Amino acid sequence: MDNNVMDWNDSIEVDGQDFVLLPEGDYNFLVTGFERGRFPGGPKIPACNKATITLQITSKEGISNIKFDLLLYRTVEWKISSFFRCIGQKKHGEKLTMDWNKVIGSIGRAKVKQRTYTNQSGEEKVVNDIDKFYDYDQNFFIDNDPSLPF
């Protein structure tokens, strides 16, 4: 049974969290979510499988969650490789069978940028976006960032 399903008379208390817009820069992250899905296809890439990844970044501004998709398509394989190198599952130039079961709980470091878009109501919004993943270096997490929750 799904513990997230609510009944009409259940009590509620979770208000959610405020959106935290991070200044552009380099941040450590914790992978907190992974979902399998389908990309419906577009002008450059046909319909294919996709992985939706959620990263949690703890900063002095607060906690920010960033979601992004990895399309399982050969022309963007470099982006998948970059992510797996970032979380320490792959080394540069190495062949790897992706182990999605080990993604949640992984740590890494990425460059975050701000991206502007127009929503369905015509309003301009700014969100956090991943610009680049850095290759995994365990010493960096131990020595350089005391703000990490792990």
- The model's pTM is 0.82
Q: Tens of pLDDT along the chain (150 residues)? A: 567 788 898 888 766 667 899 999 999 999 999 999 999 999 999 999 999 999 999 999 899 999 999 999 999 999 999 999 999 999 999 999 999 999 999 999 999 999 999 999 999 999 999 999 999 987 766 555 544 544
Q: Are strands 107-118 and 25-39 parallel, antiparallel or unpaired?
A: antiparallel
DSSP category for residue 8: T
* Element spanning 109, H or E: strand 107-118
Contact 85, 136 (CB under 8 A): yes
Round to whole Å and give the CA distance between 90 and 81: 7
